[in-house]
Chain A
């Protein structure tokens, strides 16, 4: 367990030190931030190493019980294959981001608090990963949210950053309220806050399981930016790009998926919830990919692609395969962090987020070009890059469910996920190709002279490119992934193998190639223009199907109106009450003004006399 304590404490202490002393000792900021994350990575790697080398890992510790009046909750932690795997991924990305940020935010006056918040975020995410109690998990879950809020608002001079931060916090919190109620439902059914107990004992009836998991799903949908609460993620791109890589692509948004995996046994008791998940996932998957097709801002393309990719993970869960979801979570963390950091490198060089002002960067930024190409290929699901294998695992699981059923998820959810997933593969390849072509190929369109980024930004790109290539092949090795992706029970490891159907894989590769080719053909006609400009549906894609506008009309406006009405009503009541009581007060006021003409002694004497009188009055009254 020492490794768990170190992994949790090191980034937390780094955050505390950074927040309290960062201003006074600016020289210490970088070593503290990078050092804390490195220590966490070492600790997580120790756990990961044990999983790879030894038998399945399963450690638990109960530090303290906290009474509530009902079932107590405990400060409980656990480390198993699943936790080890995700913690390694979190720490790798966090370390890359910390190193990258030293260059990306060089000279930023608020770098010290930025680095400290990234450390705090890392600690919170690891708390979620290692939590064995629902309350402990919730603490980490929400602390991540507030770190995300502060980091999106890092450039608070800009309106977009301010608005994006508010939106992200409020929308995710909306989901979190449902999440909290879901926890209540579990606790009421099981009589304990312990995750271990919840998973082990089940929650009784299917109805309870359905209610609880649907409520939990609210939090998952909020945190993992799924329809209809996905709208905050694109706007969160106003934060610094390394933050987008760490929080809004690789880790925090994946926490929702991680949570479902953790409590998967409960979800498996609720087929209705799985069906709802499948529908949500399919809407988000395709909608996100189409929206990505219509964006000009390179970060927004990646944001919508994150939304769409997270939906693949949710889809895998909805057809009953936690292992496939995990596999995709892992590979996505690697290649999406890589993509964001590479995009940051591009933005750093050309000084704009807009792809129409880029173009022709292939020669000017060779390392960025190469690594980003790797990341994009993985995202598009081209073999042999990591994304191909994990996406095939998802589609394979869907095919299994569709054809043979798995006893829990309905066959139609399998078909739905399979068909929508395949269509999305084509759309994904199209927007990936568009991004690649508009950014790196053709002629240089912007005015600024671009150049390759420095070593602190290049190395993290190269480091992340490795798993983006290899992770898929590694994951296919027999027995490796299931051992990493489960809680460590032997029976479960044997069960949870991956299915990859050859026919499905063939179709999916063909679709990807078709999507890419279509985009390339459109682009070749005029390399200086946006290849989707001619699409009639482009406005709908660009505005992401006007979901934001619907929220403005349907929710934000009415709430504002109600708020104004309440305030007006309250003011009127108060003024009325004041007028009414005013008359009563006049008599009392006259008495008081008499006493006020004297000095302070008189007040105090009067006061004490009053108290005595009151006391005597009470006594005599009785």
Chain B
């Protein structure tokens, strides 16, 4: 029974998606959102059970090649699985009342469920090829979601944004596949558990460096790491609310998860060589992203750019190669998923109401016109700034602590510089978020918005959808031990130390 749990986790959304495919169109259109919510909730329950029991599945897949269907879940994948299934369920629940302007709910829900299969599969796969397949599965649904349900507020329109997204990630994936093949063929197995246990034994230094670069490129595009981030702002800005939420909340994490799960333990020598470069690019991303946010004029684009900065922290943590830094990276991963997911929900709600996300057109006075939405935006901003007591703090703090004392072969003085620059990034992040609040929430409203009758504050339905995220941001902020207890032993093992 336990062996069936993880296949079930993937099968539920997959079957849900297939059912929508074959169901009679008209009725399916009407029932799509409730059906999707139900499926996503069942998936979430399965995920909770899986996260509580840590089942594993290992059956032959293509016996002639020695490939196996190896799925598993542990202290670092469980939080991501819960995040994925939880955010998907919330997105579905959001669609119950708030229909995208482009309509066609049946297709949208079907695609989101398919997307969920890919995301969950990536986090539970323990075979490199399986991982790759799931990693790719998410691309097409997300591409369609942006291209079909997006808006044309970006240069070149939503189609261009979607195309750039898929081309960048595909390009990265091809290189990543080469890396996977290199590792698999050199080591003679694609099994991630076995490869991680070997800690690179049997792979020459040259192979390791090459493999880390190839794997890392695929992950870095997804994360995204500066300067490979250029697909992100347009994709996020154009995507519909649910698309942005899942893109920022989960898809970006697949890249950083790949670093921790695959690149660090399987080719550790390669990691040692490349890590200083990774750290430098991460820090550039932090400062670059926050500077871009300071000058940004579009609210949604601003949140998108803020992701580049936050993911820079995650990458910096990974590049320290220490348990502290990697624990911090994983914590920041989850926190960013929740906080930025929430921010995209909120910004989406603001954009839907005003039909614009241009900060100058929106003007101030959100506290006054929509106090609940304004208060939530302030909460999200403060959380994103990394206030202790909210989820965003612990990850970034541990990342900086990791950089203060990086792993042995890494140059400490160099990492101190990286840490100091990242510290400047913290101040810049604070600055652009409080400036955002000052320009959008405080002050008085434009007359045009006061006259608009339809500008309602957040509805009870919206509040219900957002409430779990808000609560989790608080809980993870007040009780960091919850996640760290789970991730710490796994991270130590992956980094080759005693668990």
A residues adjacent to B (C-beta < 8 A):
64-70, 135, 138-139, 141-143, 146, 149-150, 153, 156-157, 162-163, 165-166, 169-170, 173-174, 177-178, 180-181, 184-185, 187-188, 559-560, 562-564, 566-567, 570, 573-575, 577-578, 581-582, 584-585, 588-589, 592, 599-601, 603-605, 607, 610-611, 614-615, 618-619, 621-622
Residues of chain A with a CB closer than 8 A to B181's CB: 621-622
**Pairwise interchain contact A166-B426, C-beta atoms closer than 8 A:** no
- Report yes or no: B167 in contact with A581, Cβ–Cβ below 8 A: yes
CB within 8 A of B67: which of A163, A180, A607, A619?
Answer: A619
Query: By the criterion CB–CB under 8 Å, are B434 and A170 in contact?
Result: yes
Cβ contact of B160, chosen from A150, A564, A578, A622, cutoff 8 A? A578
Least Cβ–Cβ distance between B320 and chain A, in angstroms: 10
CA distance A574 to B327 in the complex (A): 33
Bound-complex Cα distance A601 to B20 (A): 9
| Bound CA–CA A601/B21 (angstroms) | 6
Cα–Cα, bound, A377→B336 (Å): 52
Is B21 a contact of A605 with CB atoms below 8 Å? yes
* A589 lies within 8 A of B387 (CB): no
In angstroms, Cα B104 to Cα A417, docked, is 75
Closest-CB distance, B39 to chain A (whole angstroms): 15
Would you call A70 and B484 a contact (CB within 8 A)?
A: no
B136 touches A187 (CB 8 A): no
Q: Which residue of A lies closest to B290 (CB)?
A: A563
Contact B291 A562 (CB under 8 A): yes
**What residues of A have a CB within 8 angstroms of the CB of B401 in the complex?**
68, 70, 184, 187
Does B353 reach chain A (CB closer than 8 Å)?
Answer: no
Instruction: Let me know if B434 and A166 touch, CB within 8 A.
Output: yes
Given A169-B430, A188-B404, A69–B17 Cβ distance below 8 Å? no
Beta-carbon nearest neighbor of A607 in chain B: B140
Given contacts A66-B484, A622-B65, contact A589 B163 (CB under 8 A): yes
- Chain A nearest CB from B329 CB (Å) reads 10
- What residues on B are CB-neighbors of A607 within 8 Å? 111, 114, 140-141, 144
A142 to B389, CA, bound (A): 9
Is B397 a contact of A575 with CB atoms below 8 Å?
no
Question: Do residues B167 and A67 form an inter-chain contact, with CB atoms below 8 A?
Answer: no
B427 contacts A173, CB within 8 Å?
yes
Judged by a CB distance under 8 angstroms, whether B253 is at the interface is no
Residues of A within 8 A of B322 (CB): 69-70
- A575 surroundings in chain B (CB, below 8 A): 155
- Which of B106, B147, B398, B480 has the most chain A CB atoms closer than 10 A to its own CB? B480
Which of B129, B140, B166, B443 interacts with A162 by CB under 8 Å?
B443
* C-alpha spacing A582/B164, complex, angstroms: 8
Bound Cα distance from A610 to B324, whole angstroms: 40
* Contact across chains for B488 and A69 when beta carbons are under 8 A apart: yes
Provide the bound-state CA to CA distance between A465 and B324, in Å: 51
Contact residues, B452-499 vs A (CB, 8 A): 480-481, 484-485, 488, 491-492
Name which residue of chain A comes closest to B144, CB basis. A603
Instruction: Please name 7 pairs of A and B residues whose Cβ atoms are closer than 8 Å in the assembled complex, sorted by A.
Output: A156-B443, A165-B438, A177-B427, A573-B227, A582-B163, A600-B21, A604-B20
Q: Which residue of A lies closest to B424 (CB)?
A: A177
Contact partner of A138 (CB less than 8 A), chosen from B325, B388, B492, is B388
Asked if B140 and A610 make an inter-chain contact with CB atoms under 8 angstroms apart, the answer reads yes
Chain B residues numbered 269-290 whose CB sits less than 8 Å from any CB in chain A:
288
Q: How far is the CA of A581 from the CA of B162 in the complex (A)?
A: 11
Report whether A170 and B324 are in contact in the complex, using a CB–CB cutoff of 8 Å: no
- Assuming the contacts A69-B322, A577-B230, A585-B167, asked whether A564 and B295 have C-beta atoms less than 8 A apart, the reply is yes
Does the CB pair A614–B435 fall under 8 Å?
no
Query: Once the chains bind, are A578 and B444 in contact (CB under 8 Å)?
Result: no
Nearest A residue (CB) for B320:
A69
Q: Which of A149, A174, A564, A570 has the most CB of B within 10 A?
A: A570
Interface membership of chain B positions 6-46, coded 1 if the CB is closer than 8 angstroms to chain A and 0 otherwise: 00000000000100110001000000000000000000000
Asked if B400 is at the interface of the complex by the 8 Å CB criterion, the answer is: yes
Q: Which residues on B sit within 8 Å (CB–CB) of A592?
A: 147
What is the CB-to-nearest-CB distance from A376 to chain B, in angstroms, rounded to a whole number?
A: 35
| Cβ contacts under 8 Å, A600 to chain B | 21, 25, 104, 106-107, 110
